[in-house]
Structure 1
Amino acid sequence: MADRIDAAARSRNMSRIRSKGMKPEMAVRRIAHRLGYRFRLHRRDLPGTPDLVFPARRKIIFVHGCFWHRHADPSCRAAHTPRSNEVYWEAKIARNIARDDAARVELERTGWNVLELWECGIKNAEATERAIRNFLGPPGPAS
């Protein structure tokens, strides 16, 4: 099936998709801050440009969109392949997954602990709060 819009229109649409400050990321940032954790955002000197970085704890949180990063949970409805231009989308999402995996391996190799939170799971604020607390430990200065 051919695309319904031309390449220039698709390019315009894709250029408007942001990678920072989206609703799921903002929700995680609000929860972490409310719990008393302090963090850095989008450190470009780290592989994968993590969403939230807790340097003193050597911990990182990635907030993944289920569509763009292909959430493997079968109950997640957002992790699908569009019916138009399937070959393009499969390749695109496969590259995203490979890039995520490479960044995670490199971060863990250099001593960072990584938590991935998925867009669909963030809707449950209590579960997200529990996951953050379990991952980061008690708030306050890291010892």
Structure 2
Amino acid sequence: MGEKEYRRPKIAVPEFSEANGFYTTPKRSFNMSKIRSKGTKPEKLLKKALWHAGIRHKSPKKKLPGKPDISLKKYKLVIFVDGAFWHGYNWENRKHAIKSNREFWIAKIERNMERDQEINNYYKSKGWTVLRFWDFEVQEQTGPCLKILLNHIT
């Protein structure tokens, strides 16, 4: 048998429960339940900009690894619009600002970042291009984001 490839253990995220010392208020719980993973405003903005640029696309119906927001099979391109909080934008500076349930949220976000890298590696190994935009970048600078995207397909 061949030598096994060394893999770093995945970050373990503790279960979010009061028994584990994590707590939340009913209002916070309600607010968190309203956060979407699909159909966000930045995602819609980028899709609309693509459409106006003449690039026809479909949201993936078949679940692709990592659930990309947009996939362009013709160009072997997947696009993710990542939320700054959930995917760890400026993480080394921002993680210190988390005040409550730190153990849970730090592990959760670091695991999300780790998973993002795994998904990037997966698509790259299959010959696809992966583009990731921060949600605030798409909202504030849709044009430059679209230009980056168009540069990869033309």
Q: TM-score range by the shorter chain?
A: 0.7 to 0.9
What letter matches 1:133 in structure 2? Answer: L
Shift of 1:107: 1.0
Shift of 1:136: 2.1
1:52 corresponds in structure 2 to: 70
Distance in 2, matches of 1:111 and 1:11, equals 41
Amino-acid identity (%): 33
Distance in 2, matches of 1:31 and 1:13, equals 29
Shift of 1:49: 0.9
Alignment of 1:1-80 (within 5 A): 3=23, 5=25, 11-72=29-90
State the SS of the aligned residue for 1:61: strand
Shift of 1:73: 8.2
- State the Cα deviation string for residues 65-113 of structure 1 (Å, max 9, x = none): 1111012388xx9x55531111111011011111111111111111211
| C-alpha contact 1:121 1:128 (8 A) present in aligned 2 | yes
What letter matches 2:99 in structure 1? Answer: R
TM-score (norm 2): 0.74
Distance in 2, matches of 1:65 and 1:102, equals 17
- Please tell me whether residue 125 in structure 1 is matched to residue 125 in structure 2: no
**C-alpha RMSD of the superposition:** 2.5
Shift of 1:130: 1.4
TM-score (norm 1): 0.79
Distance in 2, matches of 1:44 and 1:87, equals 34
Distance in 1, matches of 2:104 and 2:91, equals 22
1:105 corresponds in structure 2 to: 121
State the SS of the aligned residue for 1:67: coil
2:8 corresponds in structure 1 to: none
Shift of 1:45: 3.6
Distance in 2, matches of 1:42 and 1:63, equals 14
2:4 corresponds in structure 1 to: none
Q: Larger radius of gyration, structure 1 or 2?
A: 2
State the SS of the aligned residue for 1:128: helix
The number of residue pairs the alignment matches comes to: 132
Shift of 1:36: 0.7
